[in-house]
């Protein structure tokens, strides 16, 4: 049996892919496909949830029932170390393993990834996030995409398929490209040529800025290291789970929120993200040197065909720069 492991990465349409797999599960079973999405039992990083017996039994039961292609899909796969991958692949050694992994160019990827971090537990502004990423360019997955490919290579799969998210969106479409990479029947794949992406609802950017500062206040109060999500990808350490988004409602229609907005807006800047940025050029060269052997949807030989620059509006305010009186008001209002 072929085991297909879809690894994300983050911010590359995984929700759209997983929704389509779920909605078409019955039809896919007729083509001898079975899929499991986002199961914590296959997260080799979480010793409390990782379930070797369940993995072995689930795969064997599927094979016994006639399944020929078993899909595991989860973005968390993209964060695993080589040792964590080996824990999974050792359980599946009887089968042919294919990795499917999507990559999105940094110009479009980084603003979305920064916002995702902020909505979890991170504090830093986008300019600081970008500076930190450039500083840790050789160790951080968000800068060095090749790290993931290297980790996948280390467990010796039958096949690795690297998919350009940007090329997929600009040409055949996300689902068509993905399902073709999965090896699904052409008549099934072609049905998705006009499919729309399932877009996650975006927070207004100013709300994201407020939430990151609430994260910072929370971390300060409880002596927790700032920027847990960023550091998870840097040091493979589990982050704190603040989810301060839920606290935002406590500030609605208050003077303190108005004051906070004023501080954020007063320090706004426009960050231009361009493929011609020297850091992006170097990151891309390093990545393409490795990924070219695994690419499935290059256009005219380019993994990232057309990447237009963007201007990203953001605030430079950091948690340590907030007025102490404003910090205290925030602590009192959100009761932390």
Residue 132 lies in a domain: no
pLDDT > 90? residue 35:
yes
- Looking at the DSSP bridge assignments, the partners of residue 226 are none
Enter the pTM of the model: 0.93
Q: For the segment 87-120, what is each residue's pLDDT rounded down to a tens digit?
A: 999 999 999 999 999 999 999 999 999 999 999 8
Q: Over the chain, what is the mean pLDDT?
A: 92
Q: Does 264 share its domain with 156?
A: no
- Looking at the DSSP bridge assignments, the partners of residue 37 are 73
Q: Does 95 share its domain with 8?
A: yes
Q: Does 46 share its domain with 100?
A: yes
Q: Does 165 share its domain with 249?
A: no
Residue 117 lies in a domain: no
Domain count of the chain? 2
Q: Does 67 share its domain with 186?
A: yes
Q: Does 178 share its domain with 222?
A: no
d(CA 190, CA 19): 17
Q: For the segment 43-73, what is each residue's pLDDT rounded down to a tens digit?
A: 998 889 999 999 999 999 999 999 999 999 9
Alpha helices for 155-277 (secondary structure H): 165-170, 174-181, 186-189, 205-222, 228-235, 255-266
Q: Does 172 share its domain with 216?
A: no
Does a cis peptide bond (omega within 30 degrees of 0) precede residue 31? no
Residue 85 lies in a domain: yes
Residue 301 lies in a domain: yes
Question: Which pLDDT value is given to residue 146?
Answer: 96
Question: Which pLDDT value is given to residue 164?
Answer: 98
Half-sphere exposure of 319 (CA within 13 A, CB side): 23
- Give residue 220's domain range: 205-334
pLDDT > 70? residue 198:
no
Q: For the segment 250-293, what is each residue's pLDDT rounded down to a tens digit?
A: 787 788 889 999 999 999 999 999 999 999 999 999 999 999 99
The H or E element spanning position 108 is helix 106-120
3-state secondary structure of 140: coil
Q: What is the CATH number of the domain that holds 29?
A: 3.40.50
Residue 113 lies in a domain: no
Percent residues over pLDDT 90 in the chain: 78
pLDDT band at 240 (very low <50, low <70, confident <90, very high): low
Percent residues over pLDDT 70 in the chain: 94
């Amino acid at each position: 049996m072929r085991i297909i492991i879809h690894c994300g990465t983050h911010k590359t349409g995984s929700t759209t892919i997983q929704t389509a797999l779920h909605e078409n599960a019955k039809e896919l079973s007729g083509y001898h496909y079975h899929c499991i999405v986002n199961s914590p039992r296959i997260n080799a990083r979480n010793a409390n949830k990782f379930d070797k017996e369940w993995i072995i039994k689930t795969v064997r039961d599927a094979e016994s029932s006639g399944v020929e292609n078993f899909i595991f899909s989860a973005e968390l796969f993209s964060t695993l170390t080589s040792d964590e991958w080996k824990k999974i692949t050792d359980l599946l050694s009887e089968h042919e393993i294919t990795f499917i992994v999507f990559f999105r160019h940094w110009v479009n990827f980084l603003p979305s990834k920064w916002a995702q971090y902020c909505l979890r537990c991170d504090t830093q502004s986008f300019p600081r996030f970008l500076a930190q990423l450039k500083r840790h360019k050789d160790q951080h997955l968000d800068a060095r995409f090749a790290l993931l490919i290297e980790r996948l290579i280390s467990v010796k799969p039958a096949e690795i398929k690297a998919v350009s998210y940007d090329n997929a969106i600009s040409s055949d479409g996300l689902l068509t490209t993905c399902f073709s990479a999965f090896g699904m029947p052409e008549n099934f794949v072609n049905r998705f040529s006009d499919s729309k992406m399932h877009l996650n609802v975006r927070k207004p950017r100013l709300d994201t800025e407020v939430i990151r500062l609430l994260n910072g206040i929370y971390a300060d109060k409880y002596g927790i290291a700032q920027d847990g999500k960023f550091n998870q990808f840097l040091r493979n350490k589990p982050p704190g789970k603040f989810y301060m988004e839920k606290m935002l409602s406590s500030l609605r229609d208050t003077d303190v929120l108005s004051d906070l907005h004023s501080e954020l807006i007063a320090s706004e800047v426009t960050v231009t993200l361009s493929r011609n940025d020297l850091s992006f050029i170097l990151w891309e060269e390093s990545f393409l040197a490795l990924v070219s052997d695994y690419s499935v949807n290059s256009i005219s030989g380019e993994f990232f065909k057309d990447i237009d620059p963007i201007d990203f509006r953001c605030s430079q305010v950091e948690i340590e720069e907030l007025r102490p009186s404003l910090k205290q008001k925030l602590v009192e209002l959100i009761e932390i």
